[in-house]
Amino acid sequence: MSTATRRLQRYLEDELVDCRSEDVDRRLDELDALESVLSDEQIGADLDVLSALSNETRYKLVRLLVAAEEELCVCELNAMVDASESAISHALGTLTDAGVVIRRKDGRWRKYRASNVAVSLVTLLDGLGPSAAERPPASSRDANAGCGCE
């Protein structure tokens, strides 16, 4: 058993005072299952999306495409974003590679639209609103939460 696992077990035994050792073991199993969200593939994909949105020009393009709710051409985006057409095309390539924007060729024009991922992220961020920083932190968990004890 690793040091981290021994420390976690001591923590659970302290926090789950009225629980049996089976409750502690069950909680350890739940935490092992929870750890599966940390796959290298999933983390890499998430970081690609977040990295793509970390540039102001790219983020503006995503917000515009989400708000437009339709395809837009680079020349249309260029009229609204203060960047060269080349910079916008490069930014759209990065967003496309990350799966945030979907590209379609229409004759000699390339048209772009927001992916479902982009719509979901912008919707989530809009839901936070300007007062998100003023919200109190989430209340701490109940000491016996997750163990089934009452």
CATH number, domain containing residue 79: 1.10.10.10
Give the separation between CA 18 and CA 135, rounded to whole angstroms.
33
Does position 139 have pLDDT exceeding 70, yes or no? no
The pLDDT tens digits for 21-74 are 677 677 778 888 888 778 888 889 889 999 999 999 999 999 999 999 999 999
For helices 85-97 and 40-52, give the axis angle rounded to 10 degrees: 160
Domain that holds residue 62: 46-128
In a domain, 34, yes or no: no
Number of structural domains in the chain: 1
Q: What is the 3-state secondary structure (H, E, C) of 72-128?
A: EEHHHHHCCCCCCHHHHHHHHHHHHHCCCEEEEEECCEEEEEECHHHHHHHHHHHHH
